[in-house]
Structure formats: structure tokens, C-alpha cells
Chains A and B, each alone.
Chain A
Amino acid sequence: MMHESKTRVARVSLAVALLVGLATFGSARSASASSKFPDALQKALSKRFPGVAFCVPTCAACHLTTVGGPGNLNVFGANLENQPMPGNLILGNNGDVDKKLDDAIGRYFAATPAVGLPQASTMFPAPDVTRPSYDADRDGISDYNELAKLDSPSQALPSGVHEFCPEDAAMYGCGARVASAPPPADRLGLFGAGLLVLGLAAFRRLKRRPAAG
């Protein structure tokens, strides 16, 4: 009786697990809640610096670590977040993130920092003029000029040289490659193929059973 009860529990558990797997299969859009801000920042900067090949930066562009936010902003990120605009730079991935970042970057470069905030003289393209602009890392070179050269606005020179899009960016993996993301049908196909193989194997064993017994 105890054995039958445990087998029943085992079957129920397995059924639950399969149902969970199948039910969540279709709900999966990505394997993590990733931020859209890095992509949006790349687009906003590429728009203002044509000809400069911006990478998709890590979260450390605006945050103190690559873990990102919310919060945990470096000076550049804090300055960007505090730009006065409708709705401010709303945290998270809600709405049109591209537009939000684009607005924020535009206001950031157009703003004259308040007295007391780190700033440096910046030469802007015509019809703009040479005027003070934000210098988050206080190295005497404005964030605008640093970003134009892919230098980090958060790390003072010389350590910030080329650090916004570092050539030696961390790369992950051991060298093997897989194909890019397959469409859902391929995953279902893999699962279906696996079921078919297992079913055939089980069927063959059942057929052989009288001879083996």
C-alpha cells in the first residue's frame, strides 16, 4: 500500500512537472528580464555622433557595476536621470525606452550644468556654440567630447580612454558556437523528436519482453 502511494505521488509529481514545463514553454520570451536601456543608449548616441561606431554598452555606462540598476548610478547616470523632462527618465523598461533615452541625451547635451556641478568647456557643432557642459568624472574633458571619442564619461582620463566601448570587452564562452535563436517550432521539433525516439525504444522493449522474460 505504501509502495503504491509513493508511486502515485511520484506520478503526480512528474505530471505536475511536465505540465509546468509545457505551460511555461509558450510564455517564455527571454530567459531573463533584460534592460532595454543599453540598446536605447547606443541608438541615442549614434544619432548624435554620426560616423562613430557605438557598441551596446554594458550597464556600467550609467551604473557603478555591470549589474546595473535600479539605482546604483554613477555620476553620468545620475546626471542623465535628473534631466528635467516630462515624466523624467522613468526607471525600467516601460513604454518607448528608445524615445526616453533619446530625450534624456538630447537634454543632457543641451543643458548648461548648474553652478557647482562638474563641467568643462565643450565645442558643439554649429549652430551651437562653445559653452560649458557636463563633466561627470571631473577630468576636464566634457562628457560630450569624451563620448565622441568613445571614452568613458565616468572614468577620469587616462583610465577612461576608450572605455565606453572597450576593445578588450569581456567575451564569454569557450569557443564553440551554436546557431542563433531557433524559432519555437524548432524547439517543439526537438522535443517531439525526443518523444518519438523514446516512444519507439519503449515500444521495442515491450515487444521484446516476452522473449526476454
Chain B
Amino acid sequence: MLKGSGTRKLGGRDTLRAFQRFLGWSAVVLFVSLFPSRAHAYTWMIKHGYSSCPVCHADPSGGELLTQYGRVQSDELLRMTYGKPSGGSSHSEPKAPRLVRNLELKTDALSGADDEGKDAKPDEKADDEEAPAAATAEEAAPDAAAAPEQSSSSPGDFLWGLVKTPDWLLLGGSYRHLMVIRPSTQAKKFSTFPMMADLYGQVQVGNFRVEGSLGVVRVGVGSPYARAAQITTNQGDQWNLLSRTHWLGYDLADGTITLRAGHMNLPFGVRIPEHTMWVRQATLTDRESAQQDGVAFAYNGEKLRGEVMGILGNYQVSPDKYRQRGYSLYAEYLVGERTGIGVSSMVTKAKKDRITLEPDPLRQAHGAYVRSALTDELVLLAEADALLTSDHDFGYVGFAQADYEITRGLHLMATGEILNRGYDQLVAGAKTVGNGKPQLGVWGTVDWFFLPHCEFRADAYRRQEDDFTILGQLHVFL
């Protein structure tokens, strides 16, 4: 299934295929000429046996650009299958194979099922992890991904399978539109805006990979969002190009080890899509615009995975005094097959804090997290971190999220979160919620993957010191 498609063929063999490709590239042009967005990782995929991220993502710690296999799985496991029997527990699904980056084939291939998988069929196990045969790759591939010779489009291909890219090229992108409703506020009750849209891609030559993302955004002066990812220099309410990630990578040991250098997401905690969740926002580890420049070492083994990054600062922010330098890391151990327990740690130092504008900030965050598929339908994500910031009292942040998949493609989620940044000794004044006192929030979410690579999500949340808010989000990812 994943053997090379050879030279990409544009145009197709008939008018219909030409029109399909024209339509597909029109979508690309549309996204580039409009607004940016991001795709995101789904850490609850652990319930399908995907405890490790690089099987489906170019980033060894997950998120953003999908591999061809990841794109197939998003079609098979994420979206609602109307009319098809939705039965069959994740236990009956083929165990997720380990990713093998075959150097000779210059392609992502499957090494076969994990040798420890008790449910794995003998013919799914790889005899040689170094050089997976095409036949082995096809046997390990999901049944839904038909062989290229029998299908003019594959769900593993770009743009809903309409555009075949060469083996060395991965393309992706996503658009997200947000509606905000605050029924009880005396302020503006409804607003809608395109939140993000990015295009991203990866070129692989042998062991080397080059990945990058590009999008456009316009935010108001003083907005805390998007600015730190800008690559153009408009500081006001103008359009800007942005690049959230761009890095060079080198894979070792069949892809279990990846060295990277560039502008990257910080390895810390549970990589959830909700960038405004306090665990991501308060630790400055969200994937919206908290990326940093640095070098990273990632390991994805059978039971143990992790990444450590030396942070050199965000060179898309000036002057140098605002650049945080230090490290960030996580390590996760797989207990059984569907529970991962991890620890995270981050220490950064700058000369001036870009968030609080306070001098000489030393920021620390240390914590633990768990991702566990309690049943075939129910996944628990939880994280708790201690916040140690100079000129602040001890702080903490945490969240717990239960994700219940009613039927394939339809999720109900309940989330609770807590935040205390630690009393700000420089600002002084009375202790308030979130500043010396705990601040609480609860979310209720319906997440519906109604078509391949199309998602509608509705959140209703109530946080202390904030109005009751309803979010409606339409997300389309290429």
C-alpha cells in the first residue's frame, strides 16, 4: 500500500481526473490566499493502539503534518462511518506497526506488527526491521487502503486522496473557523472569524528530512496570539506570514531516533489541540505560537518514548532580551498497551518576560501526565504541573479530560482544569483567582468527525472570572 507511487502524474487519464486535480489544487490556492490554521494530534489515539506518534505524524512527538499512514488512519479511525457497522473494538484492529524509515526505498514503510503484540498475526510480524518488503508492508496495512494499482485515489494521498505525491514529499494543511458565543455577557455576544490556516510539507532524502509550515494571519495590536510565529514584521493590525514550525531532521535506528534542529513545538506534557487550555497556556507550551528554536533528540521505542530539546530562543521575536533559553523534555512509558505515563520538565531563562513584562524571569514547569484508554470508547487524559516562576509564589496548573466515543467519529468530552500562576510579588496587591488563589474551569465538548478530514467541534466552558462561553469550530485538514 505504501510502496512508492513513482513519479507523480498530473492530469490523469480522463477529464474527470483532471478536474479532480484542478479542484484539489484550487483548494490549496484558496487556503494559501485566505487565513491560516493548524491540524492537531489526537493523543486519545492510544485507544487504537497508537501509543507512539511518528507512525502517523512527521513530528516524532506528534501533531501537524500527517504521514501517508496517518492519513489513512484518520480516514479509518477518526471519521464517522455512516451506514457501516460501527462495531468492532479496538482490540480487534491490527496492532499499530512501528514506523520504519527505509533508507533505500526513501519512503515511510511499515515494519510489521510489534513483536510483543499477542493479537498480532504471524504474517504481520516483521522478520527484518531493517528492510521491510513491500509484501510485508501491504499485509500490515489496513484493508481499507487498497493497492495503488486497483485505485485511482487512496485515502493516504493528499487532498482526500485526489493528489498523489512522490514518496519523498508529504503535504498537509488545515483551516479552522471559530464562532464565539457569550450569551450572558454585557459585551459582544457573538463573534466569528477564521482562526488559522496553514500549509505544511516535508521533503525526505534518505535519512534527512526538511519540514516547514507557512500560513497567514491578522491579529490586533497587543494580541497574545500568532505574533511569536510571525516571519513578516507588521506589528499592527495587518496581514502577516507566519511559520510555526520549520526544521531539519535526521533519522537513526529505523526512525526510532530523530535528531532535529529548527523551530519546533516544545516537548512537554500532553500534546492536546486546545491551545487555550491552561496547562498549555500557563506553561507556554501550546502549539499555537509557543514554538522555539533549538535542537531536539527524540526517541520512540516500544515502551519508552520521549524528547529533549535544548531551547536557543525564538528568533522570530526581538530583541534578544525576550528570548527564553533553556530546555524542555518529556518521557513517557507505556504501561500495558493502552496507558502511557509521562513526566515533563522545562526550565527557561530570559532577560525580560514577554508575557508579564517582568525582568529576569526564570520559568520552571515540572509535572506528570497520563493518557489511558480505560475502555474501547473511553480515554482519560490528565496532566498536573508545578509552576515555579521568579518573583512569584509557588503555582500549579492541571487538567483532566475524559473522552467518550459514542460511535466512531462522535466524541463527548468533559474537562476540568485548575490554575494558580503563583502570587505575583512584583505586582503585589490582593491575591486573586489565578494569582495566589486557584482558578477553576469546566468544559463540555462534542467533537464530530463528519467527513474525512472534516471536523466540527462545539465547546461550552465556564471559567471563574470569565463569562459562560460557547465555541463552535469547523476544522478542515488536508
Residue of B nearest to A15 (CB): B23
Asked whether A185 is an interface residue with its Cβ less than 8 Å from the other chain, the reply is no
Q: A31-B226, A187-B33 are in contact. Are A20 and B188 (CB under 8 A)?
A: no
Q: Pick the residue among B15, B427, B451 that contacts A9 (CB under 8 A).
A: B451
Q: A11-B20, A71-B465 are in contact. Are A172 and B27 (CB under 8 A)?
A: no
Q: Please, which residues of chain B bring their CB within 8 A of the CB of A174?
A: 230-233, 315-316
Residue pairs across A and B with Cβ atoms less than 8 A apart, 9 shown, are A31-B219, A32-B226, A38-B221, A64-B424, A66-B224, A67-B355, A71-B439, A171-B317, A174-B316
Q: Pick the residue among B316, B352, B454 that contacts A17 (CB under 8 A).
A: B454
Interface centre among B182, B239, B357 (most CB of A within 10 A): B357
* Contact between chains at A206 and B193 (CB < 8 Å): no
Q: Please, which residues of chain B bring their CB within 8 A of the CB of A67?
A: 224, 281, 355
Asked whether B334 is an interface residue with its Cβ less than 8 Å from the other chain, the reply is no
The stretch that binds B, out of A45-53, A103-111, A119-127, A195-203, is A195-203
Interface string of B126-159 (1 = CB under 8 A from A): 0000000000000000000010001111010001
* Contact between chains at A90 and B187 (CB < 8 Å): yes
Q: Pick the residue among B18, B233, B317, B424 that contacts A176 (CB under 8 A).
A: B233
* Contact between chains at A64 and B356 (CB < 8 Å): yes
Give Cα A58–Cα B235 distance, bound, in whole angstroms: 12
Asked whether A112 is an interface residue with its Cβ less than 8 Å from the other chain, the reply is no
Interface residues of A (CB under 8 A from B): 2-3, 6-7, 9-14, 16-18, 20-22, 24-25, 27-35, 38-39, 56-60, 64-75, 78, 87, 90-95, 136-138, 152, 154-156, 159, 163, 166, 168, 170-178, 180-182, 187, 190-191, 194-195, 198-199, 201-202, 205-206, 209, 213
* Contact between chains at A178 and B220 (CB < 8 Å): no
Report the minimal beta-carbon distance from B201 to chain A, rounded to whole angstroms.
Answer: 17
Report the minimal beta-carbon distance from B283 to chain A, rounded to whole angstroms.
Answer: 13
Q: Please, which residues of chain B bring their CB within 8 A of the CB of A68?
A: 222, 224
Asked whether B319 is an interface residue with its Cβ less than 8 Å from the other chain, the reply is yes
Report the minimal beta-carbon distance from A190 to chain B, rounded to whole angstroms.
Answer: 4
Report the minimal beta-carbon distance from A2 to chain B, rounded to whole angstroms.
Answer: 7
Q: Please, which residues of chain A bring their CB within 8 A of the CB of B238?
A: 178, 180-181
Interface pairs A-B: 8 shortest CB-CB: A92-B187, A34-B220, A71-B465, A173-B233, A194-B29, A205-B11, A75-B429, A94-B187
* Contact between chains at B454 and A30 (CB < 8 Å): no
* Contact between chains at A72 and B435 (CB < 8 Å): yes
Report the minimal beta-carbon distance from B42 to chain A, rounded to whole angstroms.
Answer: 18
Interface centre among B180, B439, B474 (most CB of A within 10 A): B474
Interface string of B15-47 (1 = CB under 8 A from A): 100111111111101111111100000000000
Q: A6-B155, A178-B234 are in contact. Are A91 and B195 (CB under 8 A)?
A: no
Report the minimal beta-carbon distance from B432 to chain A, rounded to whole angstroms.
Answer: 7
Give Cα A32–Cα B24 distance, bound, in whole angstroms: 27
Interface centre among A31, A56, A69 (most CB of B within 10 A): A31
Give Cα A11–Cα B196 distance, bound, in whole angstroms: 23
Q: Please, which residues of chain A bring their CB within 8 A of the CB of B29?
A: 190-191, 194-195, 198
Q: Please, which residues of chain B bring their CB within 8 A of the CB of A181?
A: 218, 237-239
* Contact between chains at A182 and B354 (CB < 8 Å): no
* Contact between chains at B426 and A156 (CB < 8 Å): yes
17 further interface pairs, Cβ-Cβ under 8 Å (given A58-B222, A170-B319, A181-B218): A9-B452, A13-B451, A14-B24, A21-B27, A25-B34, A27-B192, A64-B424, A66-B354, A70-B465, A71-B465, A75-B429, A90-B187, A95-B187, A156-B428, A182-B239, A206-B15, A206-B18
What secondary structure prevails in chain A residues at the interface with B? loop
Give Cα A91–Cα B225 distance, bound, in whole angstroms: 20
Report the minimal beta-carbon distance from B219 to chain A, rounded to whole angstroms.
Answer: 5
Q: Which positions 46-85 of chain B face chain A at CB distance < 8 Å? A: none
* Contact between chains at B237 and A172 (CB < 8 Å): no
Report the minimal beta-carbon distance from A174 to chain B, rounded to whole angstroms.
Answer: 5
* Contact between chains at A163 and B357 (CB < 8 Å): yes
Q: Pick the residue among A27, A29, A66, A137 that contacts B427 (CB under 8 A).
A: A137
Report the minimal beta-carbon distance from A23 to chain B, rounded to whole angstroms.
Answer: 9
Q: Please, which residues of chain A bring their CB within 8 A of the CB of B281?
A: 67
Q: Please, which residues of chain B bring their CB within 8 A of the CB of A12?
A: 451
Q: Please, which residues of chain A bring their CB within 8 A of the CB of B262?
A: none
Give Cα A190–Cα B34 distance, bound, in whole angstroms: 10
Give Cα A78–Cα B233 distance, bound, in whole angstroms: 33
Q: Please, which residues of chain A bring their CB within 8 A of the CB of B421?
A: 64
* Contact between chains at A16 and B319 (CB < 8 Å): no
Residue of B nearest to A186 (CB): B33
* Contact between chains at B240 and A173 (CB < 8 Å): yes
Q: Please, which residues of chain A bring their CB within 8 A of the CB of B33?
A: 187, 190-191, 194
Q: Pick the residue among A11, A33, A194, A205 that contacts B191 (CB under 8 A).
A: A33
Asked whether B434 is an interface residue with its Cβ less than 8 Å from the other chain, the reply is yes
Residue of A nearest to B143 (CB): A2
Asked whether B228 is an interface residue with its Cβ less than 8 Å from the other chain, the reply is yes
* Contact between chains at B27 and A18 (CB < 8 Å): yes
Asked whether B7 is an interface residue with its Cβ less than 8 Å from the other chain, the reply is no
Asked whether B296 is an interface residue with its Cβ less than 8 Å from the other chain, the reply is no
Asked whether B369 is an interface residue with its Cβ less than 8 Å from the other chain, the reply is no
Give Cα A18–Cα B34 distance, bound, in whole angstroms: 12
Report the minimal beta-carbon distance from A115 to chain B, rounded to whole angstroms.
Answer: 16
Give Cα A65–Cα B36 distance, bound, in whole angstroms: 25
Q: Please, which residues of chain A bring their CB within 8 A of the CB of B432?
A: 71, 73, 78
Q: Pick the residue among B26, B352, B355 that contacts A18 (CB under 8 A).
A: B26
Residue of A nearest to B453 (CB): A13
* Contact between chains at A70 and B186 (CB < 8 Å): no
Q: Please, which residues of chain B bring their CB within 8 A of the CB of A173?
A: 230-235, 240, 316
* Contact between chains at B235 and A172 (CB < 8 Å): yes
* Contact between chains at B233 and A171 (CB < 8 Å): yes
